[in-house]
Homo-oligomer: A and B are copies of this chain.
Amino acid sequence: MEKNDRLAERNRGFFKAKRLLVLNVVSSPGSGKTTFIRETATRLAGKLRVGVIVGDLATDNDAAQLRTAGIPVVQITTGTVCHLDAEMVSKAAVQLDLDQVDVLIIENVGNLVCPADYDLGEDLRVVLLSTTEGEDKPLKYPPMFHSAHVALVTKSDLAAAAGFNRQQALANLRRISHHAEIFELSAKTGEGMKAWLEFVVKRRANCSHG
């Protein structure tokens, strides 16, 4: 673990030199990470160039979906490992043409437990909570939600159908994700994406002053 922390700091230095804003996107399986990343990249086009590293136990379905949308992407297949680590990210990152990238988005393995312990050298850890998962997930997976810099309530278009209690979910997020900026959105309908994209543009501006 100490080895991972050292490699993560090396990644952090490397990314800083490249003036990249780096996001580590974590969530349960099926919270909508890939659709969210695709829409973020597509809607930033013309302003910021996005590159993506995708982690999965198996398949390159997510990478294929992003590539089809014209987004530069590298797939990491972890086999049975339940998280990405700093070394995997280090090796994958250099397979992208990073001089043509402003924002590097890392899609972690779908898992609310293991990835919490692994610093990848990111600037921001972004945790997704979909409205179909229930309001209590921050309370039940505290290490992940506590360590997040950004918490996104996703699939807002399904909130009514799922009987999602928004006030309770936000209260739980504020209780556990102390440090996190919170956004509510639907990548599918575009609802709420504007505020998120403005936040990314602002954060990336800080990096470019390096």
Contacts and interface: CB of A to CB of B under 8 A. Distances in A.
A186 to B, nearest CB: 12
A113 B57 contact: yes
Q: This chain: how many copies in the complex?
A: 2
Contacts of A82: 82, 111, 113-114
Interface in A99-121: 109-114, 116-117
Interface in A65-93: 80, 82
Contacts of A130: 30, 132
A88 B97 CA distance: 48
Interface in A171-187: none
Contacts of A158: 132, 158, 161-162
A128 B132 CA distance: 14
Contacts of A116: 80
Interface in A147-174: 155, 158, 161-162
Interface in A14-46: 28-30
Nearest to A137: B29
A56 interface: yes
A143 B81 CA distance: 11
19 contacts: A28-B28, A28-B29, A28-B30, A56-B140, A57-B141, A59-B136, A59-B139, A59-B140, A61-B140, A80-B113, A82-B113, A110-B112, A110-B140, A113-B114, A114-B114, A132-B132, A132-B162, A158-B162, A161-B161
Interface of A: 28-30, 56-59, 61, 80, 82, 109-114, 116-117, 130, 132-134, 136-137, 139-143, 155, 158, 161-162
Given A58-B140, A61-B136, A161-B161, 14 more contacts: A30-B132, A30-B133, A30-B137, A57-B140, A57-B143, A58-B142, A59-B139, A59-B140, A80-B117, A80-B143, A82-B113, A110-B141, A111-B112, A111-B113
